[in-house]
Amino acid sequence: MSGIGEAVGAFGTLKSAYELVQELRKSNDPKTLKAGIEQLSDRLLSARAEGFKALEDYKVAVDRADAAEAKLRAAVTFDEQAKNYVRHRCYPGVFVYREKTPAAGEAAPPNYCAHCFGEKKLEILQVTGSIALANKEHTCPRCKSKALFQVSP
């Protein structure tokens, strides 16, 4: 049941407990009063349990809303940052992303994983090639995608 449903259920149980009290006030019979008190106790315990469940559901809903908001904020932030990068072909059919204006004095600007860029993540590719592939093979530490670079001799 949803948090609202639980809350409505708790309210309904409290209302029926109130109605039970109104009935019990009219009675002087000890057996009726004792049975009524037991029923009242059960209804109050139910209302309490429904109230706690509604609170738990509310907390879960708030956490989900917070997570969704954080995800949206990160996506908007990435879209703003993405304007500073440009796609670069490093090998026929192989692309990476690079900063449009690399930092001054930087000999080799970092290459960013195109796969992760598509998932709104900036991951710098790392050189992982064997000696034969030295400086040619780069790997993304996040998604393990490989990118081959043409290195001029």
Q: Can you say how many angstroms the Cα of residue 21 is from the centroid of all Cα atoms in its chain?
A: 46
Question: Is residue 115 close enough to count as binding Zn ion by CB under 5 A?
Answer: yes
Q: Is 120 a residue that touches Zn ion (CB under 5 A)? A: no
Angle at 70 between CA 124 and CA 142, to 5 degrees: 25
Helix (H, G, I), strand (E, B) or coil at 143: coil
Put residue 12 in one of left, alpha, beta given phi > 0 → left and psi -120 to 50 → alpha.
alpha
Return the number of the residue (53 or 115) whose C-beta is nearest Zn ion.
115
Other C-beta atoms lying within 10 Å of the C-beta of residue 95: 15
Number of residues in contact with Zn ion under rule CB under 5 A? 8
99: which strand partners? 85
CB closer to Zn ion out of 7 and 140 = 140
Stretch that binds Zn ion, among 22-30, 36-44, 88-96, 134-142 (CB under 5 A): 134-142
User: Is residue 146 near Zn ion by the rule CB under 5 A?
Assistant: no
State the minimum distance, in angstroms, from the CB of residue 78 to Zn ion. Answer: 14
Which structure tokens are listed for 91? 């090998």
Q: Give bridge partners of residue 148 from the DSSP assignment.
A: 137
Region near Zn ion per CB under 5 A, out of 47-55, 68-76, 77-85, 123-131:
123-131
Q: Measured from the CB of residue 119, what is the shortest distance to Zn ion in angstroms?
A: 8
Nearest distance, CB of residue 116 and Zn ion, angstroms: 3
Residues 55-114 that bind Zn ion (CB under 5 A): 113
Return d(Cα 5, Cα 9) in angstroms, integer.
6
Among 129, 143, 146, 149, binds Zn ion (CB under 5 A): 143
